[in-house]
């Protein structure tokens, strides 16, 4: 049970993949197909363990001998395939819409802070009928540095016109927690099938919850 109640929070900034939606199969399948088109293979578990990182970083690890230009070519091909097929294998968290609606009704500003590029983000949010609930959407390619740098959190707070100290960052990855902490925000780690409690604990978030619904006990 969570024994913590955060005060003076004006905004809740959510990571997307693994936190509000499960797009792991869509991501892994797309990486696999792009590499297969080049005669290359990957270990699906390796890809799963890197979800949340920028695509160029993922391909850089999976195929370390490629040039920067070749890596970005894979990224572009990934994006072309992903935007067409990602909704086929993406599911929203069963309680996400309800929790978001409750937070919105209670007066919290809501934001998305994700490593993804914008097109599939707005695509998936609109598909599941939650796009209109968010006051701000910031993607990793709209700021100078990706998570764990605080840039994306700082940018979201700036667009909302509030201090990062008035925000809580909610995510399933240690990267989300680290970005929030560096920005001076409160942080809530959500256990997912990608990142277990031990991994989140190592990042030392303000709180860790096993289920998204438990956010009610904190805010």
Catalytic positions, please? 15
Nearest-angstrom CA–CA distance, 116 and 138: 9
CB 188 within 8 A of CB 169: yes
7 and 110 Cβ atoms separated by less than 8 Å: no
- Selection from 95, 140, 121 nearest residue 26 by Cα: 121
Six-digit token string for 12: 């809740």
Asked if 114 and 15 count as a contact pair (C-beta separation under 8 A), the reply is yes
What interhelical angle do 151-160 and 174-183 show, nearest 10?
A: 60
């Amino acid at each position: 049970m969570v024994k913590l109640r955060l005060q003076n929070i004006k905004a809740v900034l959510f990571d997307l993949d693994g936190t509000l939606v499960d797009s792991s199969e869509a991501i892994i399948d797309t990486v696999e197909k792009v590499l297969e088109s080049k005669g290359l293979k990957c270990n699906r578990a390796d890809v799963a363990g890197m979800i949340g990182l920028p695509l160029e970083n993922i391909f850089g690890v999976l195929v370390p001998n490629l040039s920067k230009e070749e890596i970005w070519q894979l990224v572009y091909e990934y994006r072309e395939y992903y935007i067409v097929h990602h909704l086929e294998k993406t599911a929203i968290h069963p309680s996400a819409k309800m929790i978001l609606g409750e937070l919105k009704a209670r007066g919290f500003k809501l934001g998305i802070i994700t490593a993804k590029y914008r097109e599939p983000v707005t695509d998936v949010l609109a598909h599941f009928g939650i796009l209109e609930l968010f006051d701000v959407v910031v993607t990793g390619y709209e700021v100078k540095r990706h998570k764990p740098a605080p840039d994306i959190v700082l940018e979201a707070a700036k667009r909302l016109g509030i201090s990062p100290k008035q925000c809580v960052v909610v995510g399933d990855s240690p990267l989300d927690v680290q970005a929030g902490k560096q920005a001076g925000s409160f942080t809530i780690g959500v256990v997912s099938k990608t990142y277990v409690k031990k991994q989140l604990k190592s990042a030392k978030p303000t709180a860790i919850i096993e289920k998204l619904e438990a956010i009610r006990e904190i805010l």
